[in-house]
Amino acid sequence: MRKSLLALTFLLPATAVLAQSPEDAVKARQGYFEMLGAQMAVLGPMAQGKIDFDATKAQIATDNIAALAKVNVAPLFMEGTSTDDMADTKAKPEIWSNMELFGEKATAFHEAAAEISAAAGSLETLQPAVGKLGGSCKGCHDEFRAK
């Protein structure tokens, strides 16, 4: 999985550049968030005590999140890719009308993602880091993602 994620991390910037149509941008954006979600699907249950803590799996997932957070996804949020424009997206038009707040939410995500790799060593350090990262995701979803 790690090699696949690494390959996708290198492909995403190229995909973003090639995302010439709104449909391509939405597909690439959704793929990016699916990769983040896959990592959170490993970390969330560990942090909640629903599955046993595994430091190796936690480290891989946190490293993947940190790597994904370095990808510039701005080109994937091109004009014309909101729920007002397309049926296959959950991106609310408020993203483009309140870009300042959207940027603040993105910054919170990037800060939490930058710190998470260092927290993978134990359940005691992982739990608050996953909570902070999950909170940053929720903050953006509550504001900018359609249900």
User: What tens digit of pLDDT does each residue of 8-44 get?
Assistant: 555 555 555 555 899 999 999 999 999 999 999 999 9
Joined tokens for residue 7: 């390959």
* CA-to-CA separations, 137 to 45, 95, 104, in angstroms, rounded: 16, 14, 12
Bind-site residues: 137, 140-141
Bind-site residues for heme c: 137, 140-141
- Structurally, how many domains does the chain consist of? 1
Domain range for 52 is 2-144
Is 26 exposed, middle or buried (CB count within 10 Å of its CB: 0-12, 13-18, 19+)? buried
Quick: pLDDT tens for 87-137. Answer: 999 999 999 999 999 999 999 999 999 999 999 999 999 999 999 999 999
Quick: pLDDT tens for 74-99. Answer: 999 999 999 999 999 999 999 999 99
Model pLDDT, residue 20: 80
- Give the C-alpha separation, 104 to 140, whole Å: 9
Mean pLDDT of the chain: 90
CA 137 to chain centre: 7
- Give the C-alpha separation, 33 to 71, whole Å: 11
**CATH code of residue 41:** 1.20.120.10
